[in-house]
Structure 1
Amino acid sequence: MTATAPAPSPRPVAGRLSTLDRFLPLWILAAMAAGLGLGRLLPGLGDALSKVTVTGVSLPIALGLLVMMYPVLAKVRYDRLGTVTRDRRLLVPSLVLNWVLGPALMFALAWLLLPDLPEYRTGLIIVGLARCIAMVIIWNDLAHGDREAAAVLVAVNSVFQVLAFAVLGWFYLTVLPGWLGLPTTGLEVSMWEIARNVLIFLGIPLAAGYLTRRVGERRKGRAWYENRFLPRIGPFALYGLLFTIVILFALQGNAITGRPWDVVRIALPLLIYFAVMWAGSYALGRAIGLSYERTTTLAFTAAGNNFELAIAVAIATFGVTSGQALAGVVGPLIEVPVLVALVYVSLALRRRSSTEVPPTRR
């Protein structure tokens, strides 16, 4: 038997990331602190930023989201999308996780942990109904998930969101509580409002990313596009993310610092929700034989939520100072650090799977 040289040990997870990616938790903490500081130093800043909105979302946040999503969607290989749409092992579990298990889990957690706080409970249920279309693309890309699969799943979720959000809101806030003998809540939201939200926050960056790749490859070639152009625009995704976080905290700094115990009460079910959805989806992906890339995409698209829609619906239905709106705002403030941590968990699992040695055949 001939001895084989041991394979070189892989570089640490952090060593494979850029400086911007490697210290992402630090940048996010700094952005949170900067937002809180701005909100405290300039008390009128929140009102000024809230005066101009897009579908109920502050214009600076809307711009940050668009800047954040465009570079990642410009990286998508749109010619490969057909391989994703044919993969029923990915699409079917994603639909079940997003539109059956996710809303049901949030409903259960909201009632179990916030039985005495109906406004926050309703806000959390709305968050659970608003499935991912924005930041999940960033988390998936940082964790080296399947970029094309993420684009397809986000698009599918967007279509379902337009068709199912209002119906599920009626079911989880009125019908199901009535069946269980619990207090009910009404939710007034039109299909057009949801469609408009999807068209703005997904349609614009998706169209821009598609056209950029199509025109760039046609004029300069794929090698130039992927090796020269994409590295130049790539960092803007994280710049947009950090800018969005600063504005979020600046807008809601007083509510967060003024009602810390309420924020803790809202945060607890959210923490459990994100952890259970991500871990359960990741375990399911591995169990049904998906690759690391598609398993990671399945996990992040199941765990992420469309906070801009949840906030817009809560504000439009219950008012900007309502408990429902505060619960919607706390959603991304918990989701961001938790899913950043899960990015690092994903990268560690990727490193582990890449170093596993297959059993020797006899």
Structure 2
Amino acid sequence: MTKTVPDTAPMGRFERLLTVWVALAMGAGIAMGLLAPGLVQAIAAAEVASINLVVAVLIWAMVFPMMVGVDFGALKGVARQPRGLLVTLVVNWLIKPFTMAALAVLFFEVIFARWIAPEDAAQYIAGLILLGAAPCTAMVFVWSQLTRGDATYTLAQVSVNDVIMVFAFAPIVGFLLGVTDIAVPWETLVLATLLYVLLPLVAGLATRRALGTQARIDAFTARVKPLSILGLIVTVAILFGLQADQILSKPTVILLIAVPIVIQSYGIFALAYGAAYALKVPHRIAAPCALIGTSNFFELAVAVAISLFGLNSGAALATVVGVLVEVPVMLSLVAYANRTRPRFATSQD
């Protein structure tokens, strides 16, 4: 198979500092919420069928460049390393969403119960469920490259995950929200899945077809890639503008939300990486297959949280905290994967 992944150049300074940009956007959002509350409320009021129009544009700016990079021609290569793909699929769809929901309930209904009001706890749990049900789509290309991962395998696993996401995301989220006694607005959930997963995917495929060659696709992806991060940063600023009063009155809530996310990230990586090692999966495949489950498609989680629960909801806030911790956690796991490469038998590679 001769397919290549889109833009696998080493992570640039801008991407490495994503956590810094998100933190600055949080500060700018809080300032905007305090100094220009009318502007923030006007943005929040621009809704049609529970979909915020301003945020919808920003989410498409985030998601579309990633979907252009997905090549379903890579699906025919999934049989090259079935054990690695098996680990990825089992962890992403049969384990990760449920462990994230369990950790969310444990922390916000038990451990943190004395500090968090029940209605707020339910919102944070919902946001964490959305994060857990959305495996990484784009950043895994970066993590794979940083661990010298197999480029064609990485592309294949992302393509398979995207196909599954179209059909499985809404049912899994709906089930877990129902189990945790959170009302499930099914129409909005399905609409958000169509709007932020299926339609961008179709648009990405159409764009690939129109561009034709891989070189033109890579060049186009490189040009539009900055829109993805810009859309994320502006969305974060809007979210924190709406949450300004709550955040300033309860600043520790950010740390409390981060705790189960960090535990989930390291736990899922350990499970997937350990399983890949036990199954004698080559390191060039073991690393990306573990990292894709650890990382999150936070753009989708943010978009659906806003659609389901609103811009000023605790669920939306929880998904944004996921963005905040994503890069430092993932870089630490990349470093660990690189340090442990010699432990994988030479014969595996």
**Into which bin does the TM-score normalised by the smaller protein fall?**
0.7 to 0.9
Query: Match of 1:8?
Result: none
Matching of residue 244 in structure 1 with residue 235 in structure 2: yes
Match of 2:72 among 75, 78, 86: 78
Deviations 1:113-146 (A, max 9, x none): 2334311222233224325677933432332372
Q: TM-score, normalised by structure 2?
A: 0.78
1:83 counterpart letter in structure 2: G
SS at match of 2:243: helix
Q: In 1, are the aligned partners of 2:127 and 2:316 still within 8 Å (CA)?
A: no
Q: Secondary structure at the match of 2:60?
A: helix
Q: 1:197 aligns with which of 175, 183, 192?
A: 192
Residue-pair matches, total:
321
Residues 90 and 261 from structure 1, CA distance in 2 versus in 1: closer, same or farther, beyond 3 angstroms?
closer
Secondary structure of the structure 2 residue equivalent to 1:260: coil
Partner Cα distance (1:247, 1:302) in 2: 19
Is residue 268–residue 294 contact of structure 2 (8 Å, CA) maintained in 1? yes
Give the match for residue 149 of structure 2: none
CA contact (8 A) 1:271 1:334 kept: no
8 Å Cα contact 1:32-1:245 kept in structure 2? yes
Distance (Å, rounded) in 2 between the aligned partners of 1:100 and 1:134: 12
Letter in 2 for 1:253: A
Aligned-partner residue type, residue 93 of structure 1: V
Q: Distance in 2 between matches of 1:295 and 1:268?
A: 20
Whole-Å separation in 1 of the counterparts to 2:300 and 2:66: 18
Mean CA deviation greater in 338-347 or 50-59: 50-59
Give the AA of the match of 1:152.
V
How far apart are the structure 2 equivalents of 1:23 and 1:92? 31
Assess if the C-alpha contact under 8 Å between 2:26 and 2:236 holds in 1: yes
1:254 positional shift: 2.3
Note closer, same or farther for the CA distance 1:262–1:205 as it changes in structure 2 (3 Å cut).
same
Deviation for aligned residue 1:338: 0.9
When residues 283 and 29 of structure 1 are mapped into structure 2, their CA distance, relative to the original with a 3 A threshold, is: farther
Q: Does 1:332 align with 2:319?
A: yes
Find the partner of 1:215 among 210, 213, 218: 210
Residue 281 of structure 1: CA displacement?
4.1
Q: How far does residue 249 in structure 1 lie from its aligned partner after superposition?
A: 1.8
Q: 1:344 to 1:269 in 2, by over 3 A?
A: closer
Structure 1 residue 199, shift from structure 2 partner: 0.5
**Aligned sequence identity (%):** 21
Pair 1:149-2:157 in alignment: yes
Structure 1 residues 78 and 20, CA gap change in structure 2 (3 angstroms): same
Q: CA deviation at 1:65?
A: 1.5
The question of whether the paired residues in 1 share the 8 Å contact of 2:287 and 2:337 is answered with yes
Whole-Å separation in 1 of the counterparts to 2:268 and 2:171: 23
| Structure 2 letter corresponding to 1:77 | D
**RMSD (Å) for aligned C-alpha atoms:** 3.3
Measured in 2, the distance between the counterparts of 1:72 and 1:254 equals 34
Conserved 8 A contact 1:129-1:168 = yes
How much has 1:270 moved relative to structure 2?
4.2
The 3-state SS of whatever aligns with 1:137 is coil
Which structure has the bigger radius of gyration?
Answer: 1
1:225 and 2:217 are equivalent in the alignment: yes
Tell me the TM-score normalized by structure 1: 0.75
Counterpart Cα distance in 1 of 2:63 and 2:176:
27
Structure 2 residue aligned with 1:53: 47
Q: Deviations over 1:38-84 (max 9, x none)?
A: 22221212211101135535333222221111112111222002434
Aligned residue for 1:136, secondary structure, equals coil
* Mapped pair 1:296 → 2:296: no
Query: Which deviates more, 136-145 or 48-57?
Result: 136-145
Question: What is the CA-CA distance between 1:37 and the residue it aligns to?
Answer: 2.0
Distance 2:18 2:177 in 1: 35
Counterparts of residues 1-362 of structure 1 (less than 5 Å): 16-53=10-47, 56-84=50-78, 87-116=85-114, 117-131=117-131, 136-144=136-144, 146-173=154-181, 187-217=182-212, 221-226=213-218, 228-288=219-279, 289=281, 290-301=285-296, 306-315=301-310, 325-326=313-314, 328-352=315-339
C-alpha change, 1:205 and 1:256, in structure 2 (3 Å) is same
1:33 CA displacement: 2.0
Q: How far apart are the structure 1 equivalents of 2:40 and 2:52? A: 10
| Rounded Cα–Cα distance in structure 1 between residues aligned with 2:345 and 2:278 | 17
Q: Deviations over 1:139-169 (max 9, x none)?
A: 3233237244234324423422333433333
